[in-house]
Amino acid sequence: MNVLLLGSGGREHAIAWRLAQSPLMGKLWVAPGNAGTSMFGESVEGVRITEPAEVVALAERVKADLVVVAPDDPLAAGVVDVLTAAGIAAFGPTKAADEIEWSKSYAKSLMRDAGIATATSEAFDDPDRAIEYVWGLRGPCVVKADGLSLGKGVTVCDNAEQAAAAIDAAMRGGAFGAAGARVVIEERMYGRETSAHAFSDGVTVRHMPFSCDHKPALDGDRGPNTGGMGVYSPPGWLEAPVAEAIRTQVTERALDALRAAGRPFKGVLYPGIMVTTDGPKVVEFNARFGDPEAEVLLPRLRSDLLEICDAVAHGRLADVPVEWDDVATVGVMMASGGYPGTYTTGHPIEGIGDVDDDVQVFIAGAKHDRQGRLVTAGGRVLCVVARGATVAEARAHAYDNVHRIKFEGAYYRTDIAARADEPLSIASHR
């Protein structure tokens, strides 16, 4: 089978690595790809992956039997719909099913109708009305740009003053571009976060293990939010009945509601969850693998990822095995100093060859320079993923390997997965 994978991050490196292990794999193409995916497939530059017609033309040129769409923006642009219309199998939701991610207000109305627990919220198109509303709340809230904004369109506020400033920046200052023309204002939830992931072909659901991202830039969950600084799986603090409630009352309810709305969901549904003292509540829905969640989930997948993606695309998920290794994985993101603010790039990366054989280094923002050296090329540079019998063991193993990789200005959090086994009752009263 020839496969075209869209995307260029650490997530796509992990996906390419697992797809390439499949005995079904013919040739893999990745657009645009990166220094990591290029170890498994041929990179194609110069194609705009958010332009459906360009993706179809590329898929036809490379004779792709399957297109795997990993990032959010080509999904929101309707790439899957146009591929399907052209008779090319695609892994990922249609634009209508993907609305659960690209419009927070649609996600909220779906949750309301389906009885899925989430923070109370209101959507506003008028900044004056939004500001009036937050002053009326008299407490902490969260201001979210309605559209996609690289995970950076969310401001968690302690008071109305901060919220008013965030509304002003989004709606009048254009901080998130067109995505901020409408804002959603939510009740602020307290608790611990976890990422649920499931494969679905529109009918059958196969849940993945749970994982936990660390979004803030600094140790102790301080500093600005990033795309994710590290991740672990599974969370020991997540009690079995709560995990089951998330699977049935969130993921399955959402998939059922989408199907009932005539928008059957094919691909990966990833609800972001806050486990509160009132039970699990949805923070947001994503319609794709998380990044860096994919980097710790895919090493645990025992089954054939290509077989699964192909089965999802063809509505045959019930016929293929989806099994997971009972191990723990921890991923530590190494970033350019200054990220998520300004940083410099082009610094040579040393030591990747010195990591242990059972450790994966997934490349996010790095490339080969003219001399063929691997150099930094982005904010999040690479994710070092180790396994172990427990999260604590995997964590020690990950950091032992992180210390072998060097580049100028390298920055990473030192507390990834440090609280993975701390009981929820302690954590939620911080």
Residues that bind ligand GLY (CB under 6 A): 151, 213, 228, 286, 290-291, 293
Q: How far apart are CA 203 and CA 55, in angstroms?
A: 27
- Contact region with ligand AMP (CB under 6 A), list: 50-58, 64-72, 182-190, 317-325: 182-190
Maximum CA extent, the chain:
60
DSSP classification of residue 262:
T
**Residue 359 binds what, of ligand AMP, ligand GLY, none (CB under 5 to 8 Å, by partner type)?**
none
**Residue 154 binds what, of ligand AMP, ligand GLY, none (CB under 5 to 8 Å, by partner type)?**
ligand AMP
Q: How far apart are CA 303 and CA 38, in angstroms?
A: 23
**Which tokens sit at 174?**
């254009």
Query: Which listed residue (35, 55, 77, 189) binds ligand AMP by CB under 6 A?
Result: 189
Match 């990834």 to its residue by tokens: 416
Tell me: does residue 119 bind ligand AMP (CB under 6 A): yes
**Residue 291 binds what, of ligand GLY, ligand AMP, none (CB under 5 to 8 Å, by partner type)?**
ligand GLY
Query: Which listed residue (16, 55, 64, 142) binds ligand AMP by CB under 6 A?
Result: 142
Q: For the chain, what percentages of helix, strand and coil (3-state, to nearest 5) are there?
A: 35, 25, 40
Tell me: does residue 156 bind ligand AMP (CB under 6 A): yes
**Which tokens sit at 387?**
């396994």
CA distances from 195 to 90, 142, 386 (A): 24, 19, 19
Q: State the residue number with the nearest CB to ligand GLY.
A: 290
**Residue 92 binds what, of ligand GLY, ligand AMP, none (CB under 5 to 8 Å, by partner type)?**
none
- Contact region with ligand AMP (CB under 6 A), list: 9-17, 77-85, 185-193, 262-270: 185-193
- Dump strand ranges (E) for 85-202: 89-91, 121-124, 141-145, 154-157, 183-187, 192-195, 198-201
Q: Residue 367, Cβ neighbours under 10 Å: how many?
A: 18
Sign of CA dihedral 287, 32, 153, 193: positive
Write the binding mask 192 to 211 for ligand AMP: x where contact by CB under 6 A, - elsewhere. Answer: -x------------------
Contacts (CB under 6 A) with ligand AMP, residues 236-275:
272
Query: Which listed residue (99, 146, 186, 295) binds ligand AMP by CB under 6 A?
Result: 186
Tell me: does residue 163 bind ligand AMP (CB under 6 A): no
Binding site for ligand AMP (CB under 6 A): 119, 142, 144, 151, 154, 156, 186, 188-189, 193, 215, 225, 272, 283-284
